[in-house]
Amino acid sequence: MKVHYIEKVWIVAAVLLILTLIGTVTYGALGPGVSMLDNEGGIVPDPGNPVESSSFKEPGVYKTGPNTYDVYVLARQFVYRPRKITIPVDSTITFYLTSPDVIHGFEVVGTNVNTMAIPGRIGKFTVNFDQVEEYGLLCHEYCGVGHHLMEGQIEVVPQSQFDATEEST
Ligand code: CUA
């Protein structure tokens, strides 16, 4: 069988196009290190009342080791508690996130931290912030009339500054 030269060119072009598409999808899924949260965080002991569930009673930053911190965040209509999260740079931060009402978004603007706060479930994820920076925190899931007002802040500060504010509080 004789395949015409022009036809061969188009066969090669079509195969390259398919491989390029598979390549971009694969890169998009794996390349930037983006992953879904798994079930590791578990469920809220009393889903109807996560505020009273021990770990979310006092949302905030808790030191768990020399360079590691747990941060409990409650996303609710239409605020984050705490509204402003201050953490030291170059530390390992494990977030625990939930919502007492509806689904909220949790996006740290300018980073690849982007997840949801789901009622009854605890989203657990670990982040390293390696530069001193102030990040905005945005709700990107429509959660009610105040959705557009729902925002927070993550302030990554030098260790010395963090220690100083810890001592004063
Ligand atoms: Cu919370 Cu939108």
Minimum-distance ligand 1 atom for the alpha carbon of 143: 2
* Residue 30 pLDDT greater than 90, yes or no: no
Please tell me the residue having the least CA distance from ligand 1 atom 1: 104
What is the average per-residue pLDDT within 40-67?
78
Is 143's C-beta closer than 6 angstroms to any atom of ligand 1? Answer: yes
Ligand 1 atom nearest the C-alpha of 103 is 1
Q: Which atom of ligand 1 is nearest to the CA of 148?
A: 2
Name the residue among 83, 117, 121 with its Cα closest to residue 103: 117
The whole-angstrom separation of Cα 41 and Cα 96 is: 7
How do residues 135-156 score in pLDDT, each as one tens digit?
Answer: 999 999 999 999 999 999 999 9
Q: How far is the CA of 141 from the centre of ligand 1 (A)?
A: 5
Residue-wise DSSP of 112-125? S-EEEE-TTB-EEE
| Ligand 1 contacts CB of residue 150 (under 6 A) | yes
Tokens of 37: 């949260």
Question: What pLDDT, in 10s, does the model give residues 65-118?
Answer: 989 999 999 999 999 999 999 999 999 999 999 998 899 999 999 888 899 999
